[in-house]
Amino acid sequence: MTNARRQPIQQRAQETVEALLEATAQLLVEDGYARLSTNRIARRAGVSVGSLYQYFADKDALVEALTRRVAERSAERIAQGLLGGVEQPLGELARSLIRGLVEAKRDEPELARAMAIEVPRQGRLDVEREVLGRLCGILSVVLRQRSDVRPVNAEMAAFMLVHGVFAVVRDAAAERPELLLGDELADELAELTLRYLS
Amino acid sequence: MTNARRQPIQQRAQETVEALLEATAQLLVEDGYARLSTNRIARRAGVSVGSLYQYFADKDALVEALTRRVAERSAERIAQGLLGGVEQPLGELARSLIRGLVEAKRDEPELARAMAIEVPRQGRLDVEREVLGRLCGILSVVLRQRSDVRPVNAEMAAFMLVHGVFAVVRDAAAERPELLLGDELADELAELTLRYLS
DNA sequence: GTACTATATGAGCACCCGCTCGGATCGTGG
DNA sequence: CCACGATCCGAGCGGGTGCTCATATAGTAC
């Protein structure tokens, strides 16, 4: 792992970590990834650089942790929904999943935008890859099991749908936030999915 | 514009610019965006930093120029195909467009990967946004004009299809290059498009 | 040839970066 | 209340970065 660092155990340490993540998010939104620096993050968090390095190996570890937190929240919801919704008709399932995804971005639109635009997807640190990979795995199993899905190459179909839908929502958050305000985009993506699979 | 810089007019100057772009591409592939620096680029290009700054305002101007070149090449092909293929049935049209896109990535897989993973989409410098925006415009007109397309919100549909397809191909280039080797992915994406629109 | 412009050079300045380390301070278990 | 680990501090080091500018060379126009 990237973490050979101390784990925060006392409460004030957890607060420090929290402040650092929050500061990272703020600076990312305000100044962009290029201007991020450990010194700046520490100052903004009201904490010393030394403390920062107790919990994070470097700048990217911070960004990674932030990314993970954001991505994990969406993925969690979606994975639950996918596994739980075996009984629902396909259309309902797709619709509720994608709405969930859109809502997640709507919670913190500026952060979503900054993450999408500023942060490079930097090789192995990329959490997104891991999260999307997991979702692809789950979805391809679901596709194989449901009887209301026409026969497809499940693995490839899952890759296309997961990556496609995620990207559309991400790009919308980045470039056309107004598209996320209603449910229209989500419903249309669900329609796309449904038409492709049945 | 970003360019308050000298334009290369003599041939040797054009060669210098060419060498700089090529060096940028190489370093991007080898070391990633984070390790790019003007000094390094100049050294690799066999040129002095001074020369670099005659033609490019900063590091990102170089990356932008490179991005533009790569993106423009794909977009050109696609826009041509879209406008030219008015006569073709929808299925053929989609298939040939997407195959073209996949082939473009296949030409320089390593560069495509590096661009997708390493380069942040940095605000206004982002050429991709501009290029995709243009394509969305063209496609939404096409959607409105063709009689074999069911009624849809053309603008939103164009956004979804363009961004979705691009992202799937980009992510495939980044994470699953083997998916690009055959035509299967392209054909499946065309199938997706066709089923959505008819 | 001459005069002028386009092009190329690279040492080096000012700056900021990531990161460490020795020492102060806090919190907890006994 | 004490002792010790957990936590925090921040000046400062070594080093790379972006970029400039004085200088030199190549091309062009006459």
A1-30 mean pLDDT: 85
How many of the other CB atoms lie within 10 Å of CB of B157?
A: 23
* Dihedral sign, Cα of residue A71, residue A74, residue A77, residue A81: negative
Q: Given this model, what pLDDT does residue B3 score?
A: 53
What mean pLDDT is reported for chain B?
90
Tokens of A96: 């509720």
pLDDT in tens, A34-43: 899 999 999 9
Residue B181: DSSP 8-state: T
Q: Given this model, what pLDDT does residue B2 score?
A: 45
Q: Given this model, what pLDDT does residue B124 score?
A: 60
Q: Which residue in chain B is spatially nearest to A157 when comparing CA positions?
A: B188
CA–CA separation, B32 vs B111, rounded Å?
Answer: 10
For chain A, what is the total number of helices (H) and then of strands (E)? 9, 0
Tokens of A32: 């962009």
Residue B46: DSSP 8-state: T
CA–CA separation, B17 vs B36, rounded Å?
Answer: 17
pTM for the structure as a whole: 0.90
Q: Are A28 and B122 in contact (CB under 8 A)?
A: no
Q: Given this model, what pLDDT does residue A131 score?
A: 87
Predicted confidence (pLDDT) at residue A176 exceeds the cutoff of 70: yes
Q: Which residue in chain A is spatially nearest to B152 when comparing CA positions?
A: A188
Q: Given this model, what pLDDT does residue A123 score?
A: 56
pLDDT in tens, B145-175: 999 999 999 999 999 999 999 999 999 999 8
Predicted confidence (pLDDT) at residue B123 exceeds the cutoff of 60: no
B64-80 mean pLDDT: 86
Nearest to A162 by CA among A72, A94, A65: A94
pLDDT in tens, A45-86: 999 999 999 999 988 899 999 998 888 888 888 888 887 777
CB contact under 8 A, B123 and A191: no
A102-117 mean pLDDT: 90
Q: Given this model, what pLDDT does residue B35 score?
A: 92
A100-121 mean pLDDT: 89
CA–CA separation, A106 vs A108, rounded Å?
Answer: 6
Kindly report the nearest CA distance between residue B148 and chain A, in angstroms: 16
Q: Give the closest of A156, A179, A195 to B184, CB-based.
A: A156
Measured to protein CB atoms, the chain D nucleotides within 7 Å are 6-12, 16-22, 26-28
Tokens of B191: 């199938």
Q: Give the closest of B122, B160, B195 to A196, CB-based.
A: B195
Predicted confidence (pLDDT) at residue B197 exceeds the cutoff of 50: yes
Neighbouring C-alpha atoms within 13 Å toward the C-beta of B18: 7
State whether residue B10 is helix, strand or coil: coil
Nearest to B52 by CA among B41, B66, B44: B41
Report the range of poorest mean pLDDT among A151-155, A191-195, B14-18, B114-118: B114-118
Chain A residues touching B172 at Cβ < 8 A: 159, 163
Kindly report the nearest CA distance between residue B119 and chain A, in angstroms: 5
Q: Which residue has the tokens 């913190």?
A: A108
B111-138 mean pLDDT: 85
Q: Give the closest of A33, A171, A192 to B196, CB-based.
A: A192
Q: Which residue has the tokens 């919670």?
A: A107
CA distances from B118 to A14, A85, A96, A122, B58 (A): 31, 37, 33, 5, 18
How much of chain B exceeds pLDDT 70, in percent?
A: 96
The three state secondary structure string of B134-179 is: HHHHHHHHHHHHCCCCCCCCHHHHHHHHHHHHHHHHHHHHHHCHHH
Predicted confidence (pLDDT) at residue B80 exceeds the cutoff of 90: no
Tokens of A59: 């700048």
Stated in angstroms, how far is A5 CA from C25 C1'?
21
How much of chain B exceeds pLDDT 90, in percent?
A: 62
What mean pLDDT is reported for chain A?
89
Q: Using 50, 70 and 90 to split pLDDT, how confident is the model at B21?
A: very high
Instruction: Describe the crossing of helices A11-31 and A38-45 by its angle, rounded to 10 degrees.
Output: 120
CA–CA separation, A172 vs A165, rounded Å?
Answer: 11
Q: Are B5 and B57 in contact (CB under 8 A)?
A: yes
CB contact under 8 A, A123 and B118: yes
Q: What is the DSSP string of A65-114?
A: HHHHHHHHHHHHHHHHHHHHGGGS-HHHHHHHHHHHHHHHHHHSHHHHHH
Protein residues closer than 7 Å by CB to strand C: A 10-12, 35-40, 49-50, 53, 57-59; B 6-10, 12-13, 15-16, 39, 46-51, 54
